[in-house]
Structure 1
Amino acid sequence: MVSTDHDTLRHAPLSQVRAAIRDGTYRAHTAGLGAGYLQANLAILPSAHALDFMRFCQRNPKPCPLVGVSDTGNPMMTTLGHDIDIRTDVPAYTIYRDGTLTGTATDIADLWSDDMVAFALGCSFTFENALMQAGIPMWHIDNDTTVPMFRSSIDTVPAGPFSGKMVVSMRAVAPGHLDQVRAISQRFPLAHGGPVHWGDPAEIGIHDPQRPDWGDPAPIPDGHVPVFWACGVTPQVALESASPPICITHTPGHMLITDIPEDAETAILSQTPQ
């Protein structure tokens, strides 16, 4: 049997990674997997809420960079790959009912309905690959953990019933790498682009950077700078105010890996209404 642990899949072709996720042999985080391809956050909503959610994404492009939308009732994400089934191709899903977290699942075929619309939102895991190629280490990937994520004090722009604070992800960066990290991540606007803050976490409402709201704690070595990026978990916070009868998202850190190369961002942006 082919091994499907994280370290093995980091060096495996995308087809093997997706097969392991689809058949249920891999259910952990996707940081470091599918190198060179866009990863995406997920939100699945009833069609009655789809237009307001799309407006929310348009008004908040840093935390919610929209990279794909399904047809109503069709679970195949045809614009993101030739065989991507949104019901099975994410390692773990989180289920909300009336805005309240009610459980998790590793397959949502039994929850999918003909009234659902799936949204794929760009993910910071995409620019992490570019940072590592530049020789900048990512502690959470090297240590097989999920990047720490925090509910910040930064407001999003409301749309219909969707509103709330921005969620941010954090990575500690050596001061000598800070300008390079900012410049590299800015090249990936569909993966949240450049950071929204660096330095004192309290300035954006984070009082203990060792107690993330999602993900795992990560050290901030002496002399390093905590750097924060907008995060695609933000829609999960917005669901608290929107309270749709059902919403399905990715479990934080467990992303959809698309067939779209990272360097195709320019092509996607040219097709996206500005």
Structure 2
Amino acid sequence: MTAHSRSLDKASLRYAVPAKVRLAARSGALASATHGLARGYVQANLAILPERYAFDFLRFCLRNPKPCPIVEVTDPGDPQPRLSAPGADIRTDLPGYRIYRDGKFVEEVGSIEAHWREDSVAFLLGCSNSFDQILLRHGIAQRHTEGADGRISVYRSNIECVPAGIFHGPVAVTMRPIPSKDVVQVVELSSRFPIAHGAPVHIGDPAAIGIADLKQVEWGRYNEPGPDDVPVYWACGVTPQAVAMAAHIPEMITHSPGHMFVTDLHIDDLRTG
């Protein structure tokens, strides 16, 4: 965490307009997770790759809408997401980025201006952070928003994505501890928002989806279920990072887990059903 991010009052961004959150990231004042910020607005995962791989990746997303719901795909070389956040800049407006080469994570950076190419295509993919406010509105506490760093628990599951071209790999999942009395309502509420991964992919025993130990978090931090909680799992937009490693793609740039792009789209406007 930088000196800027330590001095930033993140509480002031909880109900801020998305542009304010993006500008805080662009300036370097925000270099931590965006969970709980600009509540009610759609947050997006990011995957950037060269144009030659973009069509196969588009097919991959269309075949795997649970982990990869498409918010927007930019034109090659254009860093502005003109439909979901006009005036924003994909290269600077996230608090953190990860760079993968040949299937390996190589570095984490605060800006990707030096890595942007004339043939770069950016995919913005929906995120379950976007319905945190929906659950809070219904009185269902979100453990990860209560922590100092706002990190959710993310794991690699044994659920396989439908492959497309070179892209293949497992579905990454988020885990939220949900009070047992609220599980049915949470399933019903989240199912209305496919742009935010929709209904859970699994409820209960983590071993059933290949997670041996909930304490061994692959991304984010461990949010321990309480005695009356049930672990509930949603498909996660970190999946492209698992896919990048599995497919050994020459280069892919993603968001750092939890460090999302905040769009101007309001989650209530994207409800279905």
TM-score, with normalisation over the residues of structure 1? 0.94
Provide Cα deviations, 1:135-175, integer angstroms capped at 9, x if missing partner. Answer: 11111101133100000011110000101111000001111
Aligned match for 2:99, one of 95, 100, 121: 95
* Alignment pair present for 1:72 and 2:76: yes
Question: Whole-Å Cα distance in 2 between the matches of residues 36 and 264 of structure 1?
Answer: 10
Question: Whole-Å Cα distance in 2 between the matches of residues 14 and 46 of structure 1?
Answer: 27
* Alignment pair present for 1:134 and 2:131: no
Q: Which amino acid aligns with 1:147?
A: I
Q: CA deviation at 1:14?
A: 2.6
Identical positions, percent: 47
For residues 261 and 172 of structure 1, do their structure 2 counterparts lie closer, same or farther at Cα, with a shift above 3 Å needed?
Answer: same
* Alignment pair present for 1:169 and 2:169: no
Secondary structure class of the residue paired with 2:173: strand
Does structure 1 retain, via aligned residues, the 8 Å contact 2:197–2:234? yes
Provide Cα deviations, 1:202-244, integer angstroms capped at 9, x if missing partner. Answer: 1111111111111001111112100000000111111123322
Residue 37 (structure 1) aligns with: 41
Aligned match for 1:178, one of 162, 173, 183: 183
Q: CA deviation at 1:263?
A: 2.1
Question: Whole-Å Cα distance in 1 between the matches of residues 15 and 61 of structure 2?
Answer: 33
Question: Whole-Å Cα distance in 2 between the matches of residues 39 and 225 of structure 1?
Answer: 25
Question: Whole-Å Cα distance in 1 between the matches of residues 125 and 19 of structure 2?
Answer: 21
Question: Whole-Å Cα distance in 1 between the matches of residues 188 and 180 of structure 2?
Answer: 14
Q: CA deviation at 1:190?
A: 0.6
Structure 2 stretches lacking a partner, 5+ long: none
Residue 54 (structure 2) aligns with: 50
Residue 162 (structure 2) aligns with: 157
Residue 256 (structure 1) aligns with: 261
Q: Which amino acid aligns with 1:221?
A: G
Secondary structure class of the residue paired with 2:165: coil
Residue 201 (structure 2) aligns with: 196
Does structure 2 retain, via aligned residues, the 8 Å contact 1:161–1:241? no
Structure 1 stretches lacking a partner, 5+ long: 270-274
Aligned match for 1:104, one of 108, 122, 129: 108
Secondary structure class of the residue paired with 1:26: coil
Residue 6 (structure 1) aligns with: 10
Provide Cα deviations, 1:176-223, integer angstroms capped at 9, x if missing partner. Answer: 101111111111101000100011111111111111111001111112
Residue 211 (structure 1) aligns with: 216
Does structure 1 retain, via aligned residues, the 8 Å contact 2:73–2:124? yes
Q: CA deviation at 1:246?
A: 1.4
Secondary structure class of the residue paired with 2:220: coil
Q: CA deviation at 1:36?
A: 1.4
Secondary structure class of the residue paired with 1:263: helix
